[in-house]
Amino acid sequence: MAIVRFFRGELLIGSAEITEDEPIVEIAERAGIDIPTNCTSGNCGTCLVRLKFGQIEYPNPLPPGLDEFLIEDGGILACCMEPEGACDIDVIPPL
């Protein structure tokens, strides 16, 4: 089973196995990590985190909480995006 590892900068703070149809924020909760959310639909950007390694399928069109510049810096929305295998996520957003 694939694992998502969560970091704060370079510090590993937790990990959890991926289950089908589960957004990153729920995987983080199982790892004991709180990623703030507000809208849970990708509109507000509150759950913005950084993808360090791995694959995420970006929706088309992009939700309002995400743009091409944030994607270039690894930006993903934890509330509505799912990993496509093992991933490393930095909970510090790309700002």
Condensed to tens digits (0 to 9), the pLDDT of residues 32-49 reads 999 999 988 899 999 999
Contact at 8 Å (CB) between 65 and 53? Answer: no
Q: How many domains is the chain partitioned into structurally?
A: 1
Q: Is residue 77 part of a domain?
A: yes
Q: Is the pLDDT of residue 88 over 90?
A: yes
Which of 27-31, 41-45, 71-75 is least confident?
A: 41-45
Q: Is residue 15 part of a domain?
A: yes
Q: Is residue 7 part of a domain?
A: yes
Q: Is residue 95 part of a domain?
A: no
Q: Is residue 36 part of a domain?
A: yes
pTM of the complete model: 0.93
Q: Is residue 29 part of a domain?
A: yes
43 exposure class (CB count in 10 Å sphere: 0-12, 13-18, 19+): middle
Q: Tokens for 84, please give them.
A: 């496509």
Domain hosting 42: range is 3-90
CA separation for the pair 92, 90 (Å, rounded): 5
27 exposure class (CB count in 10 Å sphere: 0-12, 13-18, 19+): buried
**What is the CATH number for 25?**
3.10.20.30
